[in-house]
């Protein structure tokens, strides 16, 4: 976790979720897949496109029986509509397939060195069973997922994480989990296998990115129901039109027959065109592509979601539980200020503090040296060059560290210990030291007292180093964004309540849970859920597992234990706890894309009516030609233009479906207003322009 802890939180501007661009070649490559999907046995799962296919078959038959230029061109475009829809899905799947292929390459058929009765037996990795004990040494591929039960090794996990720096895996603790297909670089470890054959992490990953067992998510199912209902309504509205059309034509029998209407009513080809134009084909065609692409965007960020349901839940999250260390703060306390006592020059304190810290390689010690340099211009001195210096290391007994330079002794450490040292050396720490220490503690910081003793003189406390947890830059802005989105952020920390409050205030989180035990976390999650809230959290340790399982969205770190990975419903391969925020955004973006395209699809119909209704009936009732506001060339060209527009808009929107609607964190009102203007109003206006433009071209086709 600390590997990436130094990475600053992404500032809000660039946090807008982005995705890969669509390569035109991908369309071409996915074409065979799209044609295979024409099989009605698979297509019926998508009721909207299934109706289009049935319509296309119907017009094909009609065109064979009674051939006409209009009939054939419309038939071709109806088939294209279905192909375009399949293409969208195939392209989305294609990107996943490429990733799966890379994973498969990593999952070479390894040989497992099984320990049986203390003897080593070589068996194929595929035959490993749950609970088997195997050995892996430098150069070996780890044969399956498991926990290290003996030894320590560095492991190259780049095959699954893409991160080339090796990681340490050791028995016991939170870094014991290893993944099959990764490579041991040094040393020897003994592993207990925790997977069933064929259910390894990599296997699941491949299945996920390929979308092989993709299940529809709850919102997708609900949306499908709405789309099916709209399809039925439009189907009814068109089919029931026929008796009315026959009646109207009979009333006005003198009106000339046209390509669209005669005494038998509206021609079958025109009726099918009307149905296809009205039913929500745009969203129907792109719905599954949007879902697949959403999962894909997560994978691109190295997050594996075990189900689409979890991704959707992420968009709904009300409460984010974030670990303080590594997520909100940089993970280490850092010196932020030197506070000298009265009568001591700040420079002198800084100098003493620096000297005492030169040999201190802890992050705290390094930060003292850095602060002395930044604030007081003190150049760092190489400990090795100071021949007369003896460094006193920190021990748990003395709770101090320091340096002896000739007759000069400098100590720094916990207030009580250093003050005791001052008294033992004939000094009298002033009351002021105590005040400064209390003041720093009150703000949540850690005070380190610095004292000096020169032989022959009484020891003297020089002042206090203020160590504090440094909040990552940009986190406050990030939490403000979260608040605007209606998400409460809660900081989880093992610190005492006072320290926790100080950091919580500085970081700008809404609440904190201090001195948190795993049970506290679980109880907090339950309490939130009681109130109907959805909770997301990250965790890596085995003791996080119950809370991860309880949370609606539990993101396990890949560095964590297998218990944690099993309990969560997502795994972050980068082990970056800040990722939770991005996951929430991807979840929201997924839903927004569906909603926006549904709105677009429905408002599109207005223009299509203005094209098709006058085209069908103006011959019978010439007054209806007043509805032909686009002044389309002829009934035939009007209907053809509407059908062509309807098909082309699918292709035009594939990139949007794959990329997702642009999402900027903001309140629900602002989001709704923006999307309603763009996709609602846009959806109403664009087809008027598009259909007119297409009409300007197709009117030159002879016979239209």
Considering only residues 657 through 676, tell me which ones interact with other proteins, judged by CB under 8 A: 663, 667-669, 671-673, 675-676
Of residues 484 and 701, the one with the C-beta less far from other proteins: 484
From the centroid of its chain, how far is CA 400? 45
Q: Which stretch binds other proteins (CB under 8 A): 229-237, 297-305, 366-374, 556-564?
A: 229-237
Q: Does 289 bind other proteins (CB under 8 A)?
A: no
Choosing from 64, 236, 693, 697, the residue that interacts with other proteins (CB under 8 A) is 236
Establish how many alpha carbons lie within 13 A of residue 689's alpha carbon, considering only the half-sphere containing its beta carbon: 6
Q: Does 232 bind other proteins (CB under 8 A)?
A: yes
Q: Does 629 bind other proteins (CB under 8 A)?
A: no
From the centroid of its chain, how far is CA 445? 34
Tell me which residues in 296-355 interact with other proteins (CB under 8 A): 312, 315-316, 318
How is residue 79 written in tokens?
């088939």
Choosing from 57, 106, 111, 624, the residue that interacts with other proteins (CB under 8 A) is 624
Question: Considering the complex, what minimum distance in angstroms separates the CB of residue 219 from other proteins?
Answer: 6
Vertex 106: Cα angle to 102 and 109 (nearest 5)? 130
How many chain residues bind other proteins (CB under 8 A)?
78
Tell me which residues in 543-572 interact with other proteins (CB under 8 A): none
Tell me which residues in 165-224 interact with other proteins (CB under 8 A): 218-219, 221-223
Q: Which of 323, 351, 572, 695 is catalytic?
A: 323
Question: Considering the complex, what minimum distance in angstroms separates the CB of residue 655 from other proteins?
Answer: 19
Instruction: Give yes or no for a contact between 526 and 363, defined as CB atoms under 8 angstroms apart.
Output: no
Is 398 known as a binding-site position?
Answer: yes
Q: Which stretch binds other proteins (CB under 8 A): 55-63, 344-352, 414-422, 592-600?
A: 592-600
Question: Considering the complex, what minimum distance in angstroms separates the CB of residue 552 from other proteins?
Answer: 11
Of residues 79 and 663, the one with the C-beta less far from other proteins: 663
Is 399 known as a binding-site position?
Answer: yes
Of residues 101 and 672, the one with the C-beta less far from other proteins: 672
Is 396 known as a binding-site position?
Answer: yes
DSSP H or E run through 137: strand 133-137
Question: Considering the complex, what minimum distance in angstroms separates the CB of residue 296 from other proteins?
Answer: 18
Nearest to 612 by CA among 323, 245, 69, 228: 245
Task: State the residue for tokens 């297909």.
Answer: 181
Of residues 164 and 669, the one with the C-beta less far from other proteins: 669
Of residues 351 and 605, the one with the C-beta less far from other proteins: 605
DSSP-based helix, strand, coil % in the chain, nearest 5: 55, 20, 30
For 561, residues 6+ apart whose C-beta sits below 8 A from its C-beta are 147, 174, 175, 176, 177, 540, 541, 542, 545
DSSP label of 337: E
DSSP 310-335: HHHHHHH--EEEEETBTTTEEEEEEE
Q: Which stretch binds other proteins (CB under 8 A): 43-51, 196-204, 239-247, 536-544?
A: 239-247
Instruction: Give yes or no for a contact between 12 and 477, defined as CB atoms under 8 angstroms apart.
Output: yes
DSSP H or E run through 178: strand 177-178
Residue 23 is among the residues annotated as catalytic for this protein: no
Question: Considering the complex, what minimum distance in angstroms separates the CB of residue 661 from other proteins?
Answer: 9
Question: Considering the complex, what minimum distance in angstroms separates the CB of residue 626 from other proteins?
Answer: 5
Is 511 known as a binding-site position?
Answer: no
Distances 222 to 219, 226, 230 between C-alpha atoms, Å? 5, 7, 13
Instruction: Give yes or no for a contact between 555 and 579, defined as CB atoms under 8 angstroms apart.
Output: yes
Vertex 102: Cα angle to 158 and 152 (nearest 5)? 25
Is 59 known as a binding-site position?
Answer: no
Of residues 426 and 623, the one with the C-beta less far from other proteins: 623
DSSP label of 449: E
Question: Considering the complex, what minimum distance in angstroms separates the CB of residue 631 from other proteins?
Answer: 16
DSSP label of 5: T
Question: Considering the complex, what minimum distance in angstroms separates the CB of residue 157 from other proteins?
Answer: 33
Task: State the residue for tokens 């400098």.
Answer: 410
Choosing from 355, 536, 557, 592, the residue that interacts with other proteins (CB under 8 A) is 592
Q: Is 56 helix (H, G, I), strand (E, B) or coil?
A: helix
Establish how many alpha carbons lie within 13 A of residue 435's alpha carbon, considering only the half-sphere containing its beta carbon: 7
Of residues 270 and 563, the one with the C-beta less far from other proteins: 270
Choosing from 38, 69, 106, 246, the residue that interacts with other proteins (CB under 8 A) is 246
Q: Which stretch binds other proteins (CB under 8 A): 82-90, 179-187, 362-370, 590-598?
A: 590-598
CB neighbours of residue 380 within 10 Å: 13
Tell me which residues in 475-504 interact with other proteins (CB under 8 A): 483-488
Of residues 211 and 614, the one with the C-beta less far from other proteins: 614
CA distance 584 to 487: 10
Tell me which residues in 32-71 interact with other proteins (CB under 8 A): none
Of residues 184 and 596, the one with the C-beta less far from other proteins: 596
How is residue 214 written in tokens?
């993709």
Q: Does 510 bind other proteins (CB under 8 A)?
A: no
CA distance 439 to 442: 5
How is residue 604 written in tokens?
């599109």
Q: Does 599 bind other proteins (CB under 8 A)?
A: yes
Q: Is 451 helix (H, G, I), strand (E, B) or coil?
A: strand
Enumerate the known binding-site residues for Mg(2+): 540, 544
Residues with a catalytic annotation lie at 323
Enumerate the known binding-site residues for ATP: 360, 364, 394-401, 412
């Amino acid at each position: 976790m600390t590997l990436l802890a130094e990475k600053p939180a992404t500032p809000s501007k660039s946090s807008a979720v982005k995705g890969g661009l669509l390569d035109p070649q991908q369309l071409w490559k996915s074409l065979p897949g799209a044609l295979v999907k024409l099989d009605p046995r698979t297509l019926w799962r998508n009721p909207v496109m299934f109706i289009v296919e049935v319509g296309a078959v119907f017009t094909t038959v009609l065109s064979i029986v009674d051939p006409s230029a209009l009939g054939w061109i419309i038939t071709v475009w109806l088939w294209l509509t279905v192909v375009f829809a399949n293409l969208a899905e195939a392209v989305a799947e294609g990107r996943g397939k490429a990733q799966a292929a890379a994973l498969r390459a990593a999952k070479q058929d390894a040989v497992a060195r099984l320990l049986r009765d203390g003897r080593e037996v070589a068996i194929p990795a595929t035959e490993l069973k749950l609970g088997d004990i195997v050995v892996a040494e430098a150069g070996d591929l780890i044969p399956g997922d498991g926990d290290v039960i003996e030894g320590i090794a560095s492991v190259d996990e780049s095959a699954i994480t893409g991160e080339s720096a090796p990681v340490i895996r050791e028995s016991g603790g939170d870094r014991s989990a290893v993944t099959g297909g990764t490579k041991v670089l040094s040393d020897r470890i003994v592993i207990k296998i925790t997977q069933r054959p064929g259910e390894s992490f990599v296997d699941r990953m491949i299945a996920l990115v390929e979308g092989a067992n993709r299940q529809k998510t709850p919102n997708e199912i609900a949306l499908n129901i709405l789309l099916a209902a709209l399809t039925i309504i439009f189907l009814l509205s068109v089919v029931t039109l026929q008796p009315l059309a026959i009646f109207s034509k009979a009333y006005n029998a003198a009106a000339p027959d046209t390509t669209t209407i005669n005494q038998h009513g509206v021609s079958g080809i025109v009726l099918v065109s009307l149905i296809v134009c009205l039913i929500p084909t745009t969203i129907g065609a792109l719905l599954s592509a949007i879902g697949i692409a959403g999962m894909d965007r997560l994978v691109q960020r190295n997050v594996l979601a075990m189900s689409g349901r979890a991704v959707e839940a992420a968009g709904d999250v009300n409460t984010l539980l974030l670990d303080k260390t590594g997520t909100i703060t940089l993970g280490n306390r850092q010196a932020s200020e030197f506070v000298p006592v009265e009568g001591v020059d700040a420079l002198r304190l800084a100098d003493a503090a620096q000297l005492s810290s030169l040999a201190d390689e802890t992050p705290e010690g390094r930060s003292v040296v850095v602060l002395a340099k930044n604030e007081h211009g003190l150049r760092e001195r190489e400990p090795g060059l100071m021949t007369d210096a003896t460094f006193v290391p920190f021990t748990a007994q003395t709770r101090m560290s320091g340096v002896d330079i000739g007759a000069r002794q400098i100590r720094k450490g916990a207030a009580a210990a250093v003050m005791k040292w001052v008294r033992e050396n004939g000094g009298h720490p002033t009351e002021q030291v105590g005040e400064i220490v209390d003041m720093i503690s009150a703000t949540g910081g850690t005070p380190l007292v610095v004292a000096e003793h020169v032989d022959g003189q009484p020891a003297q406390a020089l002042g206090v180093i203020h160590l504090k947890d440094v909040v990552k830059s940009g986190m406050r802005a990030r939490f403000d964004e979260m608040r605007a989105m209606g998400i409460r952020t809660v900081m989880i920390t093992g610190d005492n309540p006072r320290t926790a409050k100080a950091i919580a205030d500085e970081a700008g989180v809404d609440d904190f849970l201090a001195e948190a035990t795993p049970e506290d976390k679980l109880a907090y999650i339950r309490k939130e859920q009681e109130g109907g809230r959805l909770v997301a959290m990250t965790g890596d340790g085995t003791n996080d597992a119950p809370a991860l399982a309880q949370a609606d969205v539990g993101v396990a770190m890949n560095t964590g234990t297998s218990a944690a990975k099993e309990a969560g419903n997502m795994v972050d391969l980068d082990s970056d706890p800040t990722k939770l925020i991005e996951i929430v955004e991807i979840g929201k973006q997924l839903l927004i894309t569906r909603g926006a395209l549904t709105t677009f699809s429905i408002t599109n119909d207005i223009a299509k009516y203005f094209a098709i209704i006058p085209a069908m009936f103006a011959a019978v009732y010439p007054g209806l030609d007043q509805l032909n506001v686009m002044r389309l060339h002829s009934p035939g060209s009007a209907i053809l233009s509407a059908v062509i527009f309807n098909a082309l808009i699918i292709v035009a929107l594939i990139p949007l479906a794959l990329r997702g609607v642009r999402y900027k964190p903001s309140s629900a009102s602002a989001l709704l207003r923006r999307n309603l203007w763009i996709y609602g109003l846009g959806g109403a206006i664009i087809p008027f322009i598009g259909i007119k433009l297409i009409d300007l071209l197709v009117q030159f086709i002879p016979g239209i």
